[in-house]
Structures are given as C-alpha cells and as structure tokens.
Amino acid sequence: MDNQAVGKRVWEAVGGQKNVNSLVHCATRLRFKLKDESIADTQKLKKDPDVIQVVQSGGQYQVVIGSNVADVYQAIVDEQGLKDQSDTQDHSKNPLNRLIDIISSIFTPFLGAMAAAGILKGFLTLAAVLGWLATDSGAYQVLYAAADGVFLFLPIMLAFTSAKKFKTNQYLSVAIAMALVYPAITEIAGAGSGLDFFGLPVILSQSGYTSSVIPIILAVWVQSKLEPLVKKIVPQFLQMIFVPMLILLVMVPLTFLALGPIGTIIGNGLGGLFNSIYGFSPLVAGFLMGSLWQVFVMFGMHWGFVPIIFLNMQQYGFDVLAPMLLAAVLAQGGAALAVAFRTKDAKLRSLGISSMITSLFGITEPTVYGVTLPLKKPFIVACLSAGVGGAMIGFAGVKAFSGGLISLLSIPTFISTNETIESNVTLAIIAAALSFALAFVGTFIVGFDEAEQDEKLEENQQTTAGETLGNARHNLKSPLSGKVLPLTEVPDKVFSSGAMGKGIAIDPVKGELIAPADGEITTVFPTGHAIGLTTKDGAEILMHIGMDTVELEGKGFEVFVKQGDQARAGDLLVRFDIEAIKAAGYSVITPIVVTNTDHFADVLELNQEEIIASEDFLAIVK
C-alpha cells in the first residue's frame, strides 16, 4: 500500500482543508471532525480498494484503514502540515456525541502505550505465578515499573491529552496532575491521615488520585475556562511568569478541595451503575456486553465504557467488564475464518484469513467492516456467539487486573498473584475459545449469500478499474506563495467568468513566479507580466501576474526565460516587485488557468486557503 497516495485520496474525498476541523487516529481508523459531513464523498471512499469502511458516528467521520492506519495518518499530517493546525472543537449539538468525542480524543493518543503496558503487566504476573521471576528481583522491579507506571500516573497522561482537547496549556495541566499524584499526598491518603488547606478539609480516597480518571479531566476543563480570564487581567509583559503561577495557585487547591471529590463521586456513580447491573445478574451483563460490544464499536459508543474500566481498577483493584469483551473480539475472528473456508472468491478468502489474525490481537475493524458486516449473517452469528462466551465469563466472575487492548495477549492480565491460574484464566480461555468455535461453526452452517457477495465484489472492481482508467490525473505545482482565491474573485471579467479556462488565483506574498510543471515556455509577453507554459501532458498554462499590469510596460518585472525554452518544475520564470506594482495602483492578484480545459475531463482545485510555491494546487483529470 502506498500510504502517501492513500492519504491524498482520503484527504481529497473528505473535502480537504476547507472541510476538516481535526484529524486523529486510533488502532484502525482515521477519525475526522468535519465541518460538513455531506461534503465528503462517502461512496468514493467506500469504493477505494485501500479503505475498509466509512463510519459516521459520535460526531466523527471515521475512515477505517486497518493496521497501517498510523502510516496513512502520518502521510496526511506530513503532506498537509497538520501538526499545529488541529481544531478539536466539537460542533455537534448532541451531548452524547460530544461526550464520546471528548473521551475518544483524550484516550486515543496513548492507547498504544496503555495496551503495551497492560499486556506487559499481565505477562509479569504470569511469570511471577509460574516462578519464572521473583517479585523482589531487580529485573521484575524494573519491568514492573515500565508496566505499572502508565496506570499509576495515569492522571499525567490524561492531563496532557485533555489539555490538547480543551485547548489550554498542556504543561500547566501536567503540573496540576503531578500535584494530584505527588508521593507525599499519596502517602497521607494511604495512611488515612487527615489533611486540610487553611482549615478547609481535603477529602482523599485511600489511593489518593493515582490511577484516577475523571478528577484530572474535570480540572483541565476548568483550567481551560480560567486561563483566558487570567490572561485578560495580567499585563502581557508579566504573563510568562504570573499566568502560570496564578493558574497553579488557584487550580491545585481547587482540584483538591472541590473538583477532585466531585470527579470521584461522578466516577463512583458510573462504576456503581455498571456494577449494579452486574450484581443483579453477571450472566445477563456478560451476554449483553459480549453480544453488543461490536455494535458499540461500530457507532463509537465503546469509548463510553473506557472510564468505567479504569474506575473499577482504581476502586476495586480489578475490573469485570473487560474480560467479557474477549469473547466479542475472538468471535468475529471465528466467523471471518469460516467465511474464508466457504467463499469461492480468492480476495475474500485472503481478507478473511488476514482479518481473523488481526482480530486475535484485538483489531476487529478489518474483520467487521471487511468481512462479517457486509455479509450480514456472519456478523449476527459472531455477536450471538460472543454473547454466549460473555455470559460464561460474567457468570464465572473473571476479573482483569490491568487495562489495555483486549486480545489473546491480554489473557495474562486476568491473573492475580493472590489466585491460582485455574480459578480465573482457564474459564476465560474456555469461554473465548467456545465463542470462536461457535462463530466458526455457526457461520459455516448458516453461510451467506455468495452470489450477492460476488456481484458486489465484481461491481466494486469494475467501478474502481473504471475510475482508475477514466480519471488518471496529475497535479500542477503552485508557481507562487500566497493566499488562494477562486477565479470568481479576480477583478477581471475575462478571467472571473471562466472564459479563459478553469484554474485559481493567488494573491502573492513573494515576487517570484516559478514553473508549475516540466514543459515548454510557449508565451513570454515583452512586458514580463504573463507567461505561457505547455506541460509534457499537453496542458496549456497561462500565468497572468496582476491586473492591467501590462500598462507598466515591464517596470518592476525581470524575466528569466524566453519562448521555446524547456523549463523544469520550480525553475524561476519571473521576478516582480510587489510593492512597486501596488504603489502604481495595480492589483497583484495572479490568475493561473488551464486555457485548453476542454481537452481534459476536469481541472480541480485542491481546496486550499494559503499555499507555498511548489505545493500541489491544481489537479488535471484526463
């Protein structure tokens, strides 16, 4: 897969810079926040051979790529320069969508580190139970620090990502979190000693705020509201020192006295709600979570359960929700494997086997969107099979003792040094294996509509091939740096009406015009204000520097080429004096048009507002 090419196709399909508020990614998806989702070409994305599926949920426009999503994401970031341009404001009015968006934005950035730490912690526990490593050995202590540190100091990780989400100072947020997990405070909490702040009681749970979730998120949100107010009060020349100091002076005591206890109460309430359902019937809770988990994932609702898992870990030292999900993950893999055995289509067989493997390691999106969900029956069978396994796990009271991505590798996290392996892990393995087997056998027996699937595959292949052959394209490089304008804003009717051809205009910030592509210089006006170039693909490009600048009779223009010259993309063609042209009363807005537009299928803008010379700016579709 060409990650850069995939990234370009996805970026263009979602509407480009003008339509994208923000972009993040999780294990398999590009998660866009779009200004208008109707602008995105969803059908085009679904037909893209490198896109598994498109999901519109939770206020996000999600493009499912698969296990190499991080590379595609990085290609988009590098190509579009998004590192410092993300706008994570959620414009959705739906409170549930906004909540899901906040949780996913906060947890997604360190999901990989959290999953790795959880798995490592599980394997260390397994090594200790089996006697491979002594818990007082140096190797165990060092590795356990690597595994447990993420969870012990979770508020610090959450502070950093929350600050990015709420658009406030990340380092101040981290400083607040560090105060919450400060060893002396944690020691006082563990000892049950009283603590006050100028006579006001500080309420601390036994573990303090280590491994806590909601208190720091709430604190950073309040910080994001307080910080702009403090900046308005403090003179600008004093802000570098006094704004951070005032934020810490207010936020740290406020968090210990009010926000922390409020967050703890909210967290305990959420955890208590799930645990009440679990307490009423672990079997029913397990069946519901196992059978519905992939549905929650499809709609992005699974993020709402992530804080509950961590709250359980903090409050009880274990969690009963996460183990139920193992059946949901493996059942999809079993169904995909059955599809691979039954199908006559080589491509679907290959996808079934590869997605089955990814599901064993906790990545189910390729399985769901690429195999089971399009075929419908395998997805339903897998969900029901997961419900059976989830019910068994719930009924048996299987517990997880550290968090992370649920997969086969997370099984060691179900081990506690206080319990035998047989009492916890064996039951989870049996239930998960049963879910996998039931999904495989059930899908193999129930089957799916092979003819319908073959027809869809053939249609998609024909459509993709037709688009590839019919829409071959190449991009032109911008000859100028500056602000991009539509031709309709050019103060000249000949250009603004499109009579000269399709293209765009640039209000330049630097007086250098360069070649937009390799080709021959076909026109050089004696005054230097306009250059014509014909590319090797036959596109005739006219670049007209300013409006009515012909009347300057060459003053302020220095030409470096002549008619008949061969130019390479990036070669300097004309240098012009922007200030002198403006001082003479002329506009420097420069239209760049393809004068033989009718020879091509289309000439497309790339939806840019600002551009740098040599960046792609027009796409010519053959």
Active site residues: 26
CA torsion, ordered 172, 173, 176, 181, to nearest 10 deg: -130
Contact 320, 393 (CB under 8 A): no
Estimate to the nearest angstrom the gap between the alpha carbon of 237 and the chain centroid. Answer: 37
The pair of three-digit structure tokens given for residue 304, joined into one six-digit string? 């709402």
The pair of three-digit structure tokens given for residue 401, joined into one six-digit string? 């003792």
User: Residue 607: what residue type?
Assistant: N
Q: Of 529, 538, 542, 460, nearest to 495 (Cα)?
A: 542
Return d(Cα 384, Cα 328) in angstroms, integer: 9
User: Residue 297: what residue type?
Assistant: V
Contact 504, 617 (CB under 8 A): yes
Return d(Cα 443, Cα 427) in angstroms, integer: 24
As beta bridge partners, residue 32 has 23, 61
Q: Residues for the chain: how many in total?
A: 622
Contact 118, 406 (CB under 8 A): no
In whole angstroms, how large is the CA radius of gyration of the chain? Answer: 30
DSSP codes of every residue in 494-509: HHHTTTT-EEEEEEES
Q: How far, in Å, are 216, 431, 432 from residue 425 at the CA level?
A: 33, 10, 11
- 594 in helix, strand or coil? strand
Return d(Cα 291, Cα 387) in angstroms, integer: 4
Tokens 């730490």 found at: 117
Return d(Cα 557, Cα 577) in angstroms, integer: 7
DSSP codes of every residue in 517-551: SSEEEEEE-TTSSEEEEEETTS-EEEEE-SSSGGG
- 177 in helix, strand or coil? helix
